[in-house]
Amino acid sequence: MVQAGQIRARYQKHTGTILGQPARVRAQVVRRVCETFAKNYGKPRLGNPRKPLEDLVYIIISNKTSTEMAISTYRNVRDTFPSWADVLSSHHSVLRSVLEPAGLSKVKSKQIRAAMRKIKNDFGSCSLDALKRRSEREIEQYLVSLPGVSEKVAKCVMMFTLNGDVLPVDAHVHRIATRLGWTARKRADQCHNELEALIPPKRRYAFHVDCIVHGRSICRPNQPRCGQCCISRYCEYRSVSR
């Protein structure tokens, strides 16, 4: 019987092999995977708000918590603070208390308040709507300048609210791309440019959200449900684990 450690060792030798294929082959595989995902999952919004500042707050809240808890906590934040300016005018303990159910409330409250303060200083109010008039590069550069905003978070805000043709790489996207052999990089934050080069702009939104749905239900970190996987025929992880 093949042990889990042996499977991982064999799998690691195969990752990233699609990158060595001709461009036509790479494009065909990517298209088929994206089309299969879209057919099975559509383009879910995952609870993300439609305005950039609102989405930034929601994404910070959603860090290391469930979608249901993130949505519930975000709603409580909006009920507690009728305007974003109220976040800054109130005592910091109020926001921290509201964020408590989602976890990491001390860190998240500091990040949100610090980001709000910088945004208000830069634009005169707690709003990111002015970013809509900037280029994608300028938008990303500004967002990552905000306290606690990583490249992934910036790209999420751009993708969900600013019509950015970008691909945020979170743990689910990284895990699935690695198992497909689309990257051999060890960390999600190392893959943005590589996977954006591989996946066409108009397919990036669906691929991102579909990876999240697929990663939560099927392609889990441990004991993935390979027998129920809609893209198993393209997966290197499954091929070496048989």
Q: For position 15, what pLDDT does the model report?
A: 55
pLDDT at residue 190 tops 70: yes
Full residue range of the structural domain in which residue 103 is found: 52-161
The strand ranges marked E within the chain are: none
User: What is the domain count for the chain?
Assistant: 2
Q: CA–CA separation, 156 vs 166, rounded Å?
A: 8
Domain containing 210 — which CATH number? 1.10.1670.10
HSE (CB half, 13 Å, CA atoms) of 172?
Answer: 17
Residue that finishes a domain, picked among 117, 132, 161: 161
Q: Which of 74, 65, 59 is nearest to 102 (CA)?
A: 65
One domain, residues 130 and 75: yes
Counting residues of the chain whose pLDDT is more than 70, the rounded percentage is: 91
One domain, residues 82 and 106: yes
Average pLDDT over residues 166-185: 95
One domain, residues 36 and 72: no
Q: CA–CA separation, 155 vs 140, rounded Å?
A: 7
One domain, residues 82 and 23: no
Q: What is the pLDDT of residues 65-109, one digit of tens each?
A: 998 999 999 999 999 999 999 999 999 999 999 999 999 999 999
pTM, two decimal places: 0.88
Q: For position 36, what pLDDT does the model report?
A: 98
- Residue partners of 187: CB distance under 8 A and separation at least 6: 174
Domain containing 126 — which CATH number? 1.10.340.30
Q: For position 6, what pLDDT does the model report?
A: 46
One domain, residues 96 and 178: no
One domain, residues 190 and 112: no
One domain, residues 104 and 181: no
